[in-house]
Amino acid sequence: MKDYDYDLFVIGAGSGGVRAARMAAGFGAKVAVAEDRYMGGTCVNVGCVPKKLYVYAAEFGKAFKDARNFGWGSELPAFNWATLRDNKKTEISRLNAIYDNLLAGVKATVIKGRARIVDAHTVAVGEQCFSAGKILIATGGWPHIPKFPGSDLAISSNEVFDLEQFPKRLVIVGGGYISVEFAGIFNGLGAKVTQLYRGPLFLRGFDSDIREHAAQEIRKSGVDLRFDVNVESIAKGASGLQVSLTDGSTIEVDAVLYATGRKANLDGLGLENVHVKLSDAGNIEVDGNFCTTEPNIFALGDVTGGIELTPVALAEGMAFARRQFGGVESTVDYEFIPTAVFCQPNIGTVGYTEDKARAKFGKLRVFKSAFKPLKHTISGRDERTFMKLIVDRASDRVVGAHMMGPDAGEIMQGIAIAMRAGATKALFDTTIGIHPTAAEEFVTMREVWREDTE
């Protein structure tokens, strides 16, 4: 067997790459990790972590107002963007160091710089070349802004966290979870937010009832939602950016945030030097064991165009290392993966949408609950929670759970465990609820809302 510099060379120190490197090293492999930007990847630096911190900041504004009817008579304090931004930077730096320490702890070599594949067993970083028995590509995704007149004036989610000045007027373009979350963040921080989406309803891929409820609640929160419209051009004006829309209108704003999609981060990676096949969308094609069409080159995480969630990349990194270096037959089960959208209020979901459940299982029973949260009976806030359970009629198994309301993500994690274990509606019904909570609604829904008949 040829003697390589490393048993495994990982390109990308995001969640999936670092997990794979740590696990492989734990199995005794000699591992190197190359990273040209920041330790922890998108999630730690310009994704999940800073986004959730900014969501917390946005929710304080509403909490101060809600507190008044609970007896707290203070005025709404001023918001300081620089304080939030700089404290966020401090926290991210701390997390970057933790990732460095995690790799150092398993004696993995960290190489700073953009890696380029030279051949099936060689990777170059700068002027140095390294040989490896296996190469793992885990470079993630990168925001994509389409080209149009003035597109260079738009920013992406990479830049929005660290703007020098707070944008008091903001246009957000896109209909996915990233655009929805940033609309809620900046609306909550006090900006005038307009969200544009070219389709008739945002959050494509989510359950239709949740999508409709979300549009209603987000509009009530103050976001100016505009569907079936897109940007034609952006131009600098005397007092801001002039955004011309396809409906003939113009908006003047301080910033335009594009969140219309991400593409695999493959620039300069050297894939032309090997036989790694890409999909029509530009993602690396892999099989169920993360093998590319080059036998000893693998890929996982967002770069493959699968489910773009940090915990999924972590699971893939673990399964890869177990199979390749631990001698364990390990795969990832992609069914019943829970996820959340951290808008205000949150969306939590696990399992099938109603349409997809009907296509897979056939006849369904559907249950729902919609109500004003107890807190807002006193706060006075016009906000309603929506919950939905989708049940396969033949087996009584709960195959879809969807919620929009406070703490939806926290609640859905527990629901996901039950659903992965095959919980039936009868089991939900015989579970004692915790009172008074919103979560207890999931075990007290009794009346069928919709049912497919024979």
301-340 pLDDT, tens digit each = 999 999 999 999 999 999 999 999 999 999 999 999 999 9
Residue-wise pLDDT for 214-224, tens only, equals 999 999 999 99
Half-sphere exposure of 453 (CA within 13 A, CB side): 1
Q: Which residues are catalytic?
A: 435
CA dihedral over 211, 212, 214, 218, signed as positive or negative: positive
| Confidence tier at 2 by pLDDT (50, 70, 90) | confident
> In this predicted structure, what is the pLDDT of residue 258?
98
Nearest CA-CA partner of 112 in 102, 124, 125:
125
Residue environment code for 162-172, b if the CB has 16+ CB neighbours within 10 A, otherwise e: eeeebbebbbb
> In this predicted structure, what is the pLDDT of residue 410?
97
> In this predicted structure, what is the pLDDT of residue 387?
98
Are 423 and 442 contacting, i.e. CB atoms less than 8 angstroms apart?
no
Residue-wise pLDDT for 224-267, tens only, equals 999 999 999 999 999 999 999 999 999 999 999 999 999 999 99
Are 378 and 69 contacting, i.e. CB atoms less than 8 angstroms apart?
yes
> In this predicted structure, what is the pLDDT of residue 275?
96
Predicted confidence (pLDDT) at residue 421 exceeds the cutoff of 90: yes
Predicted confidence (pLDDT) at residue 443 exceeds the cutoff of 60: yes
Q: Judging by beta carbons within 10 Å of its beta carbon (0-12, 13-18, 19+), is residue 404 exposed, middle or buried?
A: buried
Quote the mean pLDDT of the chain: 97
Predicted confidence (pLDDT) at residue 3 exceeds the cutoff of 60: yes
* Position 60, amino acid: F
Query: What's the whole-number mean pLDDT along residues 100-124?
Result: 97
Which residue in this structure is represented by tokens 């738009």? 154
Predicted confidence (pLDDT) at residue 1 exceeds the cutoff of 60: no
Residue-wise pLDDT for 153-162, tens only, equals 999 999 999 9
Domains of the chain: 6-143+263-325 (3.50.50.60), 151-260 (3.50.50.60), 339-451 (3.30.390.30)
> In this predicted structure, what is the pLDDT of residue 74?
81
Q: Reduce the secondary structure of the chain to three states and give it as a string.
A: CCCCCEEEEEECCCHHHHHHHHHHHHCCCCEEEEECCCCCHHHHHHCHHHHHHHHHHHHHHHHHHHHHHHCCCCCCCCCCHHHHHHHHHHHHHHHHHHHHHHHHHCCCEEEECCEEEEECCEEEECCEEEEEEEEEECCCEEECCCCCCCHHHCECHHHHCCCCCCCCEEEEECCCHHHHHHHHHHHHCCCEEEEEECCCCCCCCCCHHHHHHHHHHHHHHCCEEEECCCEEEEEECCCCEEEEECCCCEEEECEEEECCCEEECCCCCCHHHCCCCECCCCCECCCCCCECCCCCEEECHHHHCCCCCHHHHHHHHHHHHHHHHCCCCCCCCCCCCCEEECCCCCEEEEECCHHHHHHHHCCEEEEEEEECCHHHHHHCCCCCEEEEEEEECCCCEEEEEEEECCCHHHHHHHHHHHHHCCCEHHHHHCCCCCCCCCHHHHHCCCCCCEECCC
Are 137 and 120 contacting, i.e. CB atoms less than 8 angstroms apart?
no
Are 147 and 137 contacting, i.e. CB atoms less than 8 angstroms apart?
no
